[in-house]
A and B are shown apart, each in its own frame.
Chain A
Amino acid sequence: MKKALFKDSIKEIKNTYKRFISILLMAFLGVGFFAGVRATSPDMLDTIDIYYKNQNMYDIQIISTLGLTIDDLNSIKKIDGVLETYGSYSTDEVIIDNNSEHVIKIMSIEEINKPILKEGRMPSEPNECVVESKMLSGLGKNIGDEIQLKENDESLLSQNKLKIVGIVESPIYISMQRGNTSLGAGSINYYTYVPKESFNSDLYTEIYIKVKDASKYETSTDRYENLVENVKNNIDNIKEERQKIRYDDLIDTAEKELEKAQNEFNEEKKSAEEQIAEAEKKINDAKKEVEENENKINNGEVQANKEFANAEKLIKQGKEEIYSNEKLYDENKEKAEEEINKYENTKQELTNNLNTINTGIEQIDIKYNEIQLALSNPQLSEEQKNQLENTAGLLEKQKSGLEQNKNEIENGIEEINNGISSAKEQLKLAEKQIENAKIELKEQEQNLEKEKSRTYSELENGKKEIEEAKLEIQKGEEELNINKQEFEKQITEAEEKLNNAKEQISEIESPTWYILDRYGNTGYNSFIQDVHSIENIGKVFPIVFFVIATLISLTSMTRMVEEQRGQIGTLKALGYNRMQIASKYIIYSAVACIIGGILGMCVGFMLIPKVIWMMYEMMYTITDIHLKFNTYYALFGLGVACICIVGATAYSTNNILKYEPATLMRPRAPKIGKRVILEKIPFIWNKLSFSHKVTVRNIFRYKKRFLMTIIGILGCTALIVAGFGLKNSIESLLPKQYGKVFKYNMQVSLKNGVDVNSFLEKVRNNEKIKNITETNISAGELTNKDSTEEIQIIVPKNADEIKNSINIIDLKTNESVELLDDGIYVTDKVAELLEISEGDIITIKNSDDIEKQVKVNKIVENYVSHYVYMTRNTYEKLFEDNYSTNIIYINTHQMEENDEENLAKEIINYSEVSGVILTSTVRNAMNDTLKSLNYVVVVLIVSAGLLAFVVLYNLSNVNISERIRELATIKVLGFYDKEVYSYITRETILLTIIGIILGLVAGYFLNSFIISTCEINMLRFAKIINPESYVYGVLITFGFATIVNIFTYFALKKINMIESLKSVE
């Protein structure tokens, strides 16, 4: 029996496949949309999770204002829950390309946050890099080209030229935003990776941490976040200590360095001074020497002159002497010659005497010889002999007398000769002496001349040398002076440097660690926010689908059961129990529901996340969503669909089964015609044409369908209006925040403790700038009723100046307000989140963690992030702190975006400025993010339209099938096709109009609802729906209604009069 019933069910499906399909389609849509939309956010989470796991994305990132040391790394490694730590480097650099500057973020390639190679290869040399593809297109470069970094003394890189060897995608930058920087126009344009070796630093820029067991859980889940939070807290515990160590270390090193520098300075100064002293001494010595030499030369000259004069005098004397000697000589010579002559005469006489003697001697000798001879004669007697001997003796005596005379004479002669010769000799000698003297004198004269010229030239030379020496000394002096000046300068400079260094040391702030989790990453943060907004949307919209799917199935199944009342009656009469009879319809609907649901979840899981992802793909670099079969949502969706559809079936079956078989086998008592309320107002009723009366009656007759149609249309219109409204709200956000509320063009942040006035002067003189507002902006927290929100505290220097830059609008009166003392002005979204109203006393905490109670003066309009405004007085009184300007808002005159960027570049180059944020940049960046929501809106609108179509088509089919006899009758009566069509469509159109009107209203509320549901914490969407959105809602709904009506027209044409009129089923 049951088998027979089952067969019957299957046959029924075959016979009424259209109805089956329509129920199947409802289940398909309901489950598909629910499962798909619901699965999108987990799928997206899954995708980023897998992506992050593959790229070994960090769990915690630590950055310090003063860099991180290996000791920091090691001590973090020891922390409980830390799995692995990675020290990494990054730096911002400017590259110049075609005269335009781009700021790039250069990161080291690490085992953590691994970039994905898209093209080319990874760099292996320190002068190679890989870049993001956008950078290549942006700079018009290719792999293999080089980029040139701008000179930067503080560069952490060892290279200033990098060769591009590949294209990568960074898990750090999954969105379009690249963050802010203090370089260039203030924002980073592109990112680049280089090998670790390219960095030339002993400090890590950041430390990345992998948390133990964190990879077991999916990112952003509570379990994951708890794990990370714990470790973050653990790190927070050592933070102070590490900061102090680092600070002390820094101070220590700096002081040591300073000391060293001071010593070096001192030494250098000393040695320089010594050198200078030496040089001075040398110069002085040289001067002295020169002076001495000069004196010497002068003295020498004088001496020489004197000497020469003496010498000349002597020579002159010598000459005179010689002259007088000559004269004397001549006189003496005459005298001597006279004497000589006398002597000659005497000599002559003597000679003559001598000759006489000699003759006498000779005679003697002859006599003596005759004696001798005679003696020699041996016959000679002795007296002869004696006589002879006597005579010989006498002769000898005579002879010796003569001989004596002769000797005397000869001596005399000789004496005379001697005298003459000596006189002559003496004369000669004298002459020679004179000659000699003359020669000597001449020589002396010559010598003197020589000496003179020599001496004088020597003197000249000496003088020259002195002159030269003097010049040299002068030069030396000049040089010394220059050197001295240089030295002075260097010394002052060095001293200044030292002083600066000292000051710097005193200014060394304690380093601050920032312990960030993945939310610190802009890309991740916005991704997760997007995931959450999709999740929120996924909570609202599928409900609408389910409700409508349920209602449609209810109508369809009721109709089906109704059509088969005869059969049901028969079965009942045959003795089947209610359960058995109902099972057919339940099987029917369950099969439709399960098949439709399964198909729906398959398509939904595949398609919807993919479609939504496609939209997001434009916003994020993560490729390929990881689709998975989400069993929870699958079963949940299917379950809900089954409960709705099968429940509706059971309900309508049960409604019929309660009747007795006899009642059932009779044709159902047609719905009773009734007068409608309108008929009681004759004045309207009577004016209606006949067909309109019919329409009105019919509408009121089929109340269920009437409601269903209206709900369907209403839902559709509302969804479309809400969708477009959401788009409007999203689109209006930025103009409202950065047009209505924030009016400044750029926000300039100043470095700590700089001279604000000097900056202001520069800026005030710039004619491109219209006006400026000095403010102090700091982070803070608001607490009310146990919940806390982070805010920014804006304190203008002059309360009346702020209106140039920020329009503070009272939310209640919609008018600009002046800031008054003794109270704060809270922006609306945070007020809403914390349930703050005007006049409340709430707790405010400033950046120094000082908590104070303060009164809320006004709630003011704002759209992006949270702010608290207060006057300077309020601030100073409240926190007992002095106001100091750190942010300056600038309003420029009307200018092109390019000029604005140039102006920003100009301003950022001022030494006082640490960063410039252009409103237009922020706006563009936000615009990109918000655009992604637009795509979701498109998906919504398309789905809404689809839903409207299915609903209308289904209702129209039910309508036709329910009224087929009526339609057949009027066809028999001779209604033309068009008349039949308008007979039935008039109702539909009227209902559509009613539905649309209600839908427009509902759309308004749905929009508010969606906005408050999927609104991001930091954003307040203006609940705005532009008039054209309503128009779109109307047009699109009408469009779908028209398509359905066209289908209806053909369905009506096909109605077979004979079949329909044969008999009541």
Chain B
Amino acid sequence: MAYIEFRNVVKEYKMGEIIIKALDKTNFTIEKGELVVIVGPSGAGKTTALNILGGMDNVTSGIVLVDGREVSKLKNKELIKYRREDIGFVFQFYNLVQNLTAKENVELATQICKDALNPDEILEKVGLKDRKNNFPSQLSGGEQQRVAIARAIAKNPKLLLCDEPTGALDYKTGKQILKLLQNTARKENMTVLIITHNSAIAPMADKVIHFKNGTAESVEINKNPVNIDEIEW
């Protein structure tokens, strides 16, 4: 059984009188420890899928299973608990708390987790050992995203979900971030999902899910993922 499974997941939004189907019977599976890249054009439903997987949104119909648990059935409080313990989320715009230093941003996550990792170690891992007492505004975009990733993985989650993590970053920095994610997935054996509209980075993944018109149109498994450093775009 797959570690993560989307089974006929439908998500509809009501916009006034019009019903928009963000996800239409989406099906895919992800194995534990896989680095998955979800690609697709804007409005294809990839963010919706990620949100549902991250416990931030619920499904209209269908089943979402994570580690044998039916996430799609969880009530509000369980959903929070799921987010709290199982999910690490990396946002496009980092979403750091401006008023907190890098380390404190990480601590914001670790203090609510049972088996959280040491913030200092994590920050060292993401290469911010010297900047951990800086405020986000004193950090570059890449550094901020590193803090965000550190914050996500410090919780020691089952899943690391990244929504366009490089969207706001320049090429070089973006690459460094992707590298960090790839390393994390490999070294920590963490299941990592990255949403991107940049299909060029697909080769770095173990699995690539193509989204189109609200469904996972195709899933290709990459037997030999390429190191991110080797990818150019």
Contacts of B100 in A (CB 8 A): 673, 694, 697
The answer on a CB contact under 8 Å between B89 and A673 is no
Is there an interface contact between A674 and B135, defined as CB atoms closer than 8 Å?
A: yes
The number of residues on chain A lying at the interface, defined by a beta carbon within 8 Å of a beta carbon of chain B, is 32
> Which residues of chain B are near A690, meaning CB under 8 Å?
104, 107-108, 111
Which residue from chain B places its CB closest to the CB of A977 in the assembled complex?
B80
Contact A973 B108 (CB under 8 A): yes
Q: Is B98 touching A974 in the complex (CB atoms < 8 A)?
A: no
A855 interface residue per 8 A CB criterion:
no
- Pick the residue among A969, A974, A1063 that contacts B80 (CB under 8 A): A974
Query: In the complex, which of the residues A671, A976, A1061 has the most CB atoms of chain B within 10 Å of its own CB atom?
Result: A1061
Q: Are B84 and A673 within 8 A (Cβ)?
A: no
Assembly CA distance A1064 to B56 (angstroms): 18
* A interface secondary structure, majority: helix
Q: Tell me if B99 and A673 are in contact (CB < 8 A).
A: yes
Q: Is residue A753 within 8 Å, beta carbon to beta carbon, of the partner chain?
A: no
Q: Is the CB of B99 within 8 A of A669?
A: no
Q: Using a CB-CB cutoff of 8 Å, which residues 658-711 of chain A contact chain B? A: 667, 669-674, 690-691, 693-694, 697-698, 701
Q: Given A969-B91, A1058-B56, does the pair A979, B112 have CB atoms closer than 8 Å?
A: yes
- Whether B95 lies near A969 (C-beta < 8 A) is yes
Nearest opposing residue in chain A for B56, CB measure: A1057
Complex contact B99–A671 (CB within 8 A):
yes
B residues near A977, Cβ cutoff 8 Å: 80
CA distance A224 to B219 in the complex (A): 95
Which residues of chain A have C-beta atoms less than 8 A from B112's C-beta? 973-975, 979
Does the CB pair B85–A974 fall under 8 Å? Answer: yes
Q: With a CB–CB cut-off of 8 A, which chain B residues contact A975?
A: 80, 84, 112
The yes or no answer to A83 lying at the interface (CB within 8 A) is no
Q: At the interface, yes or no: A222 with Cβ under 8 Å from chain B? A: no
Cα separation A701 to B101 with both chains bound (whole Å): 13
User: With A669-B137, A673-B135 in contact, do A972 and B56 touch (Cβ < 8 Å)?
Assistant: yes
Q: A969-B97, A972-B83, A975-B80 are in contact. Are A694 and B104 (CB under 8 A)?
A: yes
Q: Are B57 and A973 in contact (CB under 8 A)?
A: no
Interface string of A1042-1065 (1 = CB under 8 A from B): 000000000000000110010110
Closest to A970 in B: B108
A38 adjacent to chain B (CB < 8 Å): no
User: What distance in Å separates the Cβ of B170 from its nearest Cβ neighbour in chain A?
Assistant: 15
Instruction: Give A674 to B135 CA distance when docked, in angstroms.
Output: 7
Given contacts A670-B98, A674-B135, A1061-B95, contact A974 B104 (CB under 8 A): no
A residues near B77, Cβ cutoff 8 Å: 976
A966 to B92, CA, bound (A): 14
Chain A residues near B92 (CB-CB < 8 A): 1063
Q: Does residue B54 face the partner (Cβ distance < 8 Å to A)?
A: yes
- Whether, in the assembled complex, A965 has its beta carbon less than 8 Å from a beta carbon of chain B, the answer is yes
Binary CB contact string for chain A from 941 to 975 against chain B (1 if under 8 A, 0 otherwise): 00000000000000000000000011011111111
Interface size, chain B (Cβ < 8 Å): 34
A701 to B89 Cα, complex, angstroms: 26
How many angstroms between the C-alpha atoms of A974 and B112 in the bound complex? 8
Q: Contact: B51 with A1058, CB < 8 Å?
A: yes
B3 within 8 A of A: no
Closest Cβ of chain A: how far from B84's Cβ, in Å?
3
User: For residue A698, which residues in chain B have a CB less than 8 angstroms away from its CB?
Assistant: 99
Tell me whether A973 and B93 are in contact (CB under 8 A).
Answer: no
Inter-chain CA distance A977–B95, complex, in Å, is: 19
**Chain B neighbourhood of A971, CB < 8 A:** 80, 83
- Looking at the complex, which one of B80, B89, B98 makes contact with A672 (CB distance below 8 Å)? B98
- The answer for the CA separation of A632 and B80 in the assembled complex, in Å, is 57
Smallest Cβ distance from B115 to chain A, in angstroms? 14
Of A671, A672, A691, A965, which contacts B95 at CB under 8 A?
A965
Give the docked Cα–Cα distance between A674 and B136 (Å). Answer: 10
Of residues 88 through 136 on chain B, the ones whose CB sits less than 8 Å from some CB of chain A are 89, 91-93, 95, 97-101, 104, 107-109, 111-113, 135-136
Taking the complex as formed, is B87 at the interface, i.e. its CB lies under 8 A from any CB of chain A? yes
A1057-B108 Cα distance, complex, nearest whole Å: 17
- Check B84 against A966 for contact (C-beta < 8 Å): no
Question: Do A693 and B104 contact each other (CB < 8 Å), given the known contacts A975-B80, A1063-B93?
Answer: yes
Q: How far is the CB of B68 from chain A (nearest CB, A)?
A: 20
Q: How far is B111's CA from A973's CA once the two chains are assembled, in angstroms?
A: 11
Residue of B nearest to A700 (CB): B99
B83 and A974 contact, CB distance less than 8 A: yes
Q: Is the CB of B97 within 8 A of A966?
A: yes
B51 to chain A: which residues have CB within 8 Å? Answer: 1057-1058
- Residue B186, interface by CB 8 Å: no
B54 contacts which chain A residues (CB < 8 A)?
Answer: 972
Asked if B69 is an interface residue, CB under 8 A from chain A, the answer is no
Binary CB contact string for chain B from 39 to 72 against chain A (1 if under 8 A, 0 otherwise) = 0000000000001001011000000000000000
Tell me the complex Cα distance, A1057–B76, Å: 13
- In the bound assembly, the distance between CA atoms of A1063 and B109 in angstroms comes to 22
Contacts A690-B104, A694-B104: A976 and B80 contacting too (C-beta < 8 A)?
yes
Contact assessment for A973 and B84 in the assembled complex, using a CB-CB cutoff below 8 Å: yes
Contact: A973 with B109, CB < 8 Å? yes
Measured CB to CB, the closest approach of chain A to B85, in angstroms, equals 7
Residues on the B chain within 8 Å of A672, using CB: 98, 135, 137
Residues of A near B97 (CB, < 8 A) are 673, 694, 966, 969-970
B135 and A972 contact, CB distance less than 8 A: no
A698, B104: Cα distance in complex, Å: 13
* Residue in B77, B92, B100 whose Cβ sees the most chain A Cβ within 10 Å: B100
State the Cβ distance, B48 to closest chain A Cβ, in Å: 8
Query: Are the CB atoms of B99 and A1061 closer together than 8 Å?
Result: no
Note all chain B residues with C-beta closer than 8 A to A674.
99, 135
| A973 touching B136 in the complex, CB below 8 Å, given contacts A693-B104, A694-B100 | no
Binary per-residue interface labels of chain A (396-435) against chain B in the complex, 1 for a CB within 8 Å, 0 otherwise: 0000000000000000000000000000000000000000
| Neighbouring A residues of B151 by C-beta, 8 Å | 973
Closest to B148 in A: A969
Q: Which residue of A lies closest to B77 (CB)?
A: A976
In the complex, what residues of A have CB within 8 A of residue B155's CB?
A: 973-974
**Interchain CA distance A673-B133 in the complex, whole Å:** 11
A670 touches B95 (CB 8 A): no
Q: How far is the CA of A966 from the CA of B94 in the complex (A)?
A: 11
Knowing A972-B56, A974-B83, A976-B77, the reply to whether A1061 touches B137 (Cβ < 8 A) is no
CA distance A965 to B148 in the complex (A): 14
- Please, how many angstroms separate the alpha-carbon atoms of A607 and B92 in the complex? 54
Cα separation A697 to B101 with both chains bound (whole Å):
10
What is the CB-to-nearest-CB distance from A282 to chain B, in angstroms, rounded to a whole number?
130
Compute how far the CA of A973 lies from the CA of B116 in the bound complex, rounded to whole angstroms: 13
Chain B residue at minimum C-beta to C-beta distance from A966:
B97
Least distance between A955 CB and chain B CB atoms (Å): 18
Chain B residues near A670 (CB-CB < 8 A):
98, 136-137
Instruction: List B contacts of A1063 (CB < 8 A).
Output: 92-93
A698–B87 alpha-carbon span in the complex (Å):
26
Indicate if the CB atoms of A974 and B99 lie closer than 8 Å: no
Contact call B93/A972, Cβ cutoff below 8 A: no
Which chain A residue lies CB-closest to B134? A673
In the bound complex, how far is the Cα of B80 from the Cα of A971, in angstroms? 8
A969–B112 Cα distance when bound, in Å, is 14
Contact (Cβ within 8 A) A694 B99: yes
- Residues in A with CB closer than 8 Å to B104 are 690, 693-694
Closest-by-CB residue of B relative to A965 is: B95
Name which residue of chain B comes closest to A676, CB basis. B99
Given contacts A690-B107, A966-B98, A969-B95, 14 further A-B contacts (CB under 8 A): A671-B99, A672-B135, A673-B98, A690-B104, A966-B95, A972-B91, A973-B83, A973-B89, A973-B112, A974-B84, A974-B87, A974-B155, A975-B84, A976-B77
Question: Could you pull out 10 A-B pairs where Cβ atoms are within 8 angstroms?
Answer: A670-B98, A670-B136, A671-B98, A671-B99, A673-B100, A690-B108, A969-B95, A972-B54, A973-B155, A1058-B56
Instruction: Give A contacts to B, CB under 8 Å.
Output: 667, 669-674, 690-691, 693-694, 697-698, 701, 965-966, 968-977, 979, 1057-1058, 1061, 1063-1064
Minimum-distance CB pairs A-B, first 10: A974-B84, A673-B135, A974-B83, A670-B98, A969-B95, A672-B137, A673-B99, A697-B99, A1057-B56, A701-B99
